[in-house]
């Protein structure tokens, strides 16, 4: 987490330290752990994780390093050391890179902002104009995220599941878009899209 964000977080703890326990939870909007913010992805790690810093950033000394985990989904693993990639892991990584890199992203949050490994947990939206190259992908998925004026504002977490690049992750306890993800997975499985059509254990 960037130094400035850590300082603000710790400062907030100091301000609420003497308040009753029931009043100590800082919430935004409808109970989410932080307000939405705009960021740019620079490095995709796998089909459900990306960095806001360049891929060659020194993780030990980079003060602004932040890794983001897409909430509610689980993409197949890619190769690590001697372990081979899981079925459709490379394809999922390539797709997330195609969607995110270099684009302005809107990060929305749920009840918890940080995961077990210190990663930021987020619902991620990407926007585009009618002539954006990604628009044809969304049209093939029934116009997922496409607005009346032809532009799109699409939840990437949902997109990855709907196109068969990831499955719903049942164990993260984040509920904001749970119903949408469940329906996206139902449609992907029914249509045998992505991993549902090629991976034996789908």
Structure tokens at 8: 């603000």
Could you tell me if residue 38 is inside a domain? Answer: yes
Could you tell me if residue 3 is inside a domain? Answer: no
Could you tell me if residue 79 is inside a domain? Answer: yes
| CATH number of domain containing 70 | 2.40.50.90
- Give which of 91, 100, 77, 73 is closest to 185, Cα–Cα: 73
Could you tell me if residue 158 is inside a domain? Answer: yes
pLDDT at 164: 98
Contact predicate 107/57, CB 8 Å: no
Could you tell me if residue 55 is inside a domain? Answer: yes
Distance between CA atoms of residues 35 and 144, nearest Å: 24
Looking at the whole model, is its pTM more than 0.75?
yes
- Boundaries of domain holding 129: 34-198
Phi, psi of 51 (to 5 degrees): -110, 150
Could you tell me if residue 8 is inside a domain? Answer: no
DSSP state of 157: H
Could you tell me if residue 104 is inside a domain? Answer: yes
pLDDT band at 31 (very low <50, low <70, confident <90, very high): confident
Could you tell me if residue 67 is inside a domain? Answer: yes
Give me the count of residues in the chain.
202
pLDDT digits (tens, 9 = 90+) for 140-157: 999 999 999 999 999 999
Structure tokens at 103: 């684009």
The number of folded domains in the chain is: 1
């Amino acid at each position: 987490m960037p130094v400035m964000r850590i300082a603000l977080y710790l400062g907030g703890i100091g301000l609420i330290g003497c308040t009753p326990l029931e009043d100590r939870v800082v919430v935004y909007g409808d109970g989410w752990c932080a307000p939405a913010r705009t960021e740019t992805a620079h490095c995709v790690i796998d089909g459900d994780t990306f960095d806001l810093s360049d891929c060659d950033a020194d993780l030990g000394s980079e003060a602004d390093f932040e890794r983001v985990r897409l909430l509610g989904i689980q993409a197949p693993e890619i190769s690590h050391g001697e372990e081979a990639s899981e079925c459709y892991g490379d394809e999922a990584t390539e797709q997330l890179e195609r969607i995110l890199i270099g684009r302005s992203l809107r990060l929305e949050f749920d009840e918890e902002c940080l995961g077990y490994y210190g990663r930021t947990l987020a619902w991620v939206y990407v926007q585009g104009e009618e002539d954006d190259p990604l628009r044809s992908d969304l049209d093939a998925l029934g116009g997922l995220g496409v607005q009346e004026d032809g532009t799109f504002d699409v939840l990437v977490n949902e997109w990855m599941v709907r196109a068969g690049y990831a499955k719903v992750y049942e164990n993260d306890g984040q509920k904001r878009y749970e119903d949408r993800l469940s329906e996206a997975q139902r449609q992907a499985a029914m249509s045998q899209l992505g991993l549902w059509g090629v991976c034996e254990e789908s």
